[in-house]
């Protein structure tokens, strides 16, 4: 971990000392299809504390983006079936669309996955900023200083906003997308795979930029990635998601160095070791996640788990607290930690 991670961890209020800024309770999100509903988020409860970076990690299709979209009520083709998303004194799951609009962008905003595609190729960059001001009922002329200030902070020369998105490099396009997300100085940023499409060096620079912006603007961040390595240096807490559920959550150092769930342990093995890149072949976890239309009744990871016993296919594990480290509770969803089954492993 870098020293900047440590300083932000030190400044942080822990789960023991502060109220969450976002409190997600028993959230269920489904996408109806002809073959039945896909339950992409299944009973997720998650608290996000002021000033923290929560890393949300899991394989493709486990429901990370769906959770992000649900918070901002930007679900396409899906709906919140159950649960609450408490933000200040409001439940984002039930407030009116008008109220939601006053929160989107100005209080909570999202850096969208594959953001390069999120920029309209036929619209000059300037137009994207003007649209964002208008969406938030601001005046494109009187409030244009916000665009100037934000561009300056992100080292995007003002004159370049006359250009089209394709005229920028990948890293620069990503900075434009971050500038758009920060334009209204929101308190919470949901960064959905903010570096995935970029090469390794640009990736590191964007992550560094996000860490700096977090400190400067006092942001709270949900950092979504399929790559545990990407969030390790930036997040202070990490939540691991598998097949619509949280299977492990705890402070980043603990999840990284003492992963308790066999799935997290598998993800860690899949991180390429830069020093030994040539020698060591990356170990991906064999098998595929279950169908979210009809998930198995026992542990969802059982069919891929190297230590599963026969009970794992029958009994659904609970999310159980197994310790507290650096002021953060460590939870895991695996039968090997439950009193009733412990001795069988």
| Residues at the contact surface with ligand ATP, assessed by CB under 6 A | 31, 33, 38, 40, 58, 60-66, 76-78, 113, 226, 292
76 binds, among ligand ATP, Mg ion, none (CB under 5 to 8 A by kind): ligand ATP
The radius of gyration computed from the CA coordinates of the chain, to the nearest angstrom, equals 21
Sheet with 53-57, strands from edge to edge, namely 108-111, 188-192, 220-225, 53-57, 237-242, 245-251, 328-333, 319-325
Residue 250 near which of Mg ion, ligand ATP, none (CB within 5-8 Å, type-dependent): none
Alpha helices in the chain (DSSP H): 3-11, 64-72, 97-103, 115-118, 125-135, 144-153, 170-182, 200-216, 228-232, 252-257, 262-269
Distance CA 258, CA 332 (A): 12
Return the number of the residue (79 or 345) whose C-beta is nearest ligand ATP: 79
Which residue lies nearer to Mg ion by CB, 190 or 213? 190
Among Mg ion, ligand ATP, none, what binds residue 220 when CB lies within 5 to 8 Å by partner kind? none
Q: How far is the CB of 120 from ligand ATP (least distance, A)?
A: 21
d(CA 261, CA 45): 18
Q: Could you tell me the smallest distance in angstroms from the CB atom of residue 192 to Mg ion?
A: 6
CB 344, CB 314: distance < 8 Å: no
Tracing tokens 């900047």 back to the chain, one arrives at 4
For residues 86-115, which are near Mg ion according to CB under 5 A? 113
User: Which residue number, 226 or 253, has a Cβ lying nearer to Mg ion?
Assistant: 226
Q: Which residues fall within 8 angstroms of residue 91, CB to CB, at 6 or more apart?
A: 84, 85
Partner from Mg ion, ligand ATP, none contacting 31, C-beta within 5 to 8 A by type: ligand ATP
As a whole number of angstroms, the distance between CA 315 and CA 292 comes to 18
Nearer to Mg ion, 57 or 299 (CB): 57
For Mg ion, give the closer residue by CB, 246 or 299: 246
Give 188's strand partners: 108, 220
Q: Which of 65, 109, 174, 220 binds Mg ion (CB under 5 A)?
A: 65
Q: Which does 292 bind (CB under 5 to 8 A by kind): ligand ATP, Mg ion, none?
A: ligand ATP
CB-nearest residue to Mg ion: 65
Task: Rule CB under 5 A: say whether 195 interacts with Mg ion.
Answer: no
Is the Cβ of residue 113 or residue 174 nearer to Mg ion in the bound state? 113
Side-chain-side CA neighbours of residue 230 (13 Å): 28
Query: Which residues contact Mg ion (rule: CB under 5 A)?
Result: 65, 113
């Amino acid at each position: 971990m870098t020293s900047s991670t440590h300083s932000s961890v030190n400044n942080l209020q822990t789960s023991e000392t502060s109220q969450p800024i976002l409190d997600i309770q028993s959230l269920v999100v489904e996408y109806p299809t002809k073959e039945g509903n896909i339950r992409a988020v299944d009973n997720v409860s998650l608290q996000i504390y002021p000033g923290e970076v929560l890393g949300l990690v899991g394989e493709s299709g486990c429901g990370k983006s769906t959770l992000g979209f649900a918070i901002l009520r930007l679900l396409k083709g899906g709906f919140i079936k159950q649960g609450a998303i408490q933000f200040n004194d409001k439940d984002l799951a039930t407030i009116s669309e008008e109220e939601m609009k006053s929160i989107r962008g100005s209080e909570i905003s999202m850096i969208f996955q594959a953001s390069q595609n999120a920029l309209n190729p036929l619209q000059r960059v300037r137009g994207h900023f003007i649209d964002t001001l208008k969406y938030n009922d601001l005046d494109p002329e009187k409030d244009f200083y916000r665009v100037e200030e934000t561009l300056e902070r992100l080292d995007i020369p003002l004159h370049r906003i006359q250009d089209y998105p394709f005229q920028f490099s990948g890293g620069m396009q990503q900075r434009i997308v971050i500038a758009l997300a920060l334009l209204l100085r929101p308190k919470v940023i949901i960064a959905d795979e903010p570096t995935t499409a970029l090469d390794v060096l640009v990736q590191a620079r964007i992550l560094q930029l996000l860490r700096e912006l977090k400190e400067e603007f006092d942001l709270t961040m949900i950092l979504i990635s399929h790559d545990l390595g990407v969030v390790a240096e930036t997040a202070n807490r990490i939540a691991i998601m598998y097949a619509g559920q949280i299977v492990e959550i705890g402070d980043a150092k603990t999840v990284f160095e003492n992963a308790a769930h066999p799935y997290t342990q598998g993800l860690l093995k899949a991180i390429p070791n830069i020093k030994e890149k040539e020698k060591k072949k990356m170990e991906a976890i064999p098998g595929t996640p279950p169908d979210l239309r009809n998930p198995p009744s026992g542990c969802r990871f059982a069919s891929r788990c190297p230590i599963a016993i026969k009970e794992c296919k029958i009994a659904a594990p609970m999310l159980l607290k197994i310790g507290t480290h650096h002021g953060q509770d460590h939870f895991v969803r695996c039968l090997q930690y439950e009193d009733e089954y412990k001795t069988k492993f």
